[in-house]
Each structure stands twice: as C-alpha cells, then as structure tokens.
Amino acid sequence: MCLSARSQVGDTYFIATQTCNYPYPEKNGVVRAHLHVGGYILNKINENTTSVTYLSDSDVKGNIPGMIKNSQSAKQGQIAGRIQAAMQKDGY
C-alpha cells in the first residue's frame, strides 16, 4: 500500500507520503529503503515568505555509499522550489 496526501488548514499546507509495498522480491546487492513517513509543512508567514519544515523517518535497510548519501542530501534543498511550482500550478 502507498499513501500520499496534501491538505491545507488556513495558511498552512501539509504534504505527506509513505513507502509503497511493491510486489517484487528482494534482490541481493540492491538496497530497498522504507520510508515510514516523510513530508513537508509549509506555513505562510506573509505574502513573500513561507516557512518550510521537512520531516523524514526512514530505514535504508542496507549500506549506502557516503558519496551517494552526500549527493542526495545536497539535492534535498531543491525540492522546496519544485513544491512551490507545483502549488502555484494548482492555484495555491
């Protein structure tokens, strides 16, 4: 089962997701992470400022090389811009 949701309460937006359980067998040498829950809380401060809080609880269930972890961590900040574009497209 896979779950993703988006909701709004006043000027606060919630975006959440969790891992899907895919019907594929585990493969030796392949890391399959499990995302218990992850998402964002966006709180509009004023017309030009929004506070973004990122939440993540995951289990990588294996060894990820440091180079890959560092690369992905560096890209995490770019996601806020993608969220902004998607929300503007949807009229938020």
Give the fold, CATH level 3, of 3-89: Alpha-D-Glucose-1,6-Bisphosphate; Chain A, domain 4 (3.30.530)
Greater confidence (42 vs 62) lies with: 42
Give the global pTM.
Answer: 0.64
CA–CA gap between residue 48 and residue 15 (Å, rounded): 20
Greater confidence (60 vs 42) lies with: 42
Q: What average pLDDT does range 34-51 have in this prediction?
A: 85
Helices and strands per DSSP (H, E), number in the chain: 2, 4
Spatial contact of 16 and 5, defined as CB atoms under 8 Å apart: yes
pLDDT value of residue 9? 93
CA–CA gap between residue 62 and residue 55 (Å, rounded): 21
Q: What average pLDDT does range 11-28 have in this prediction?
A: 82
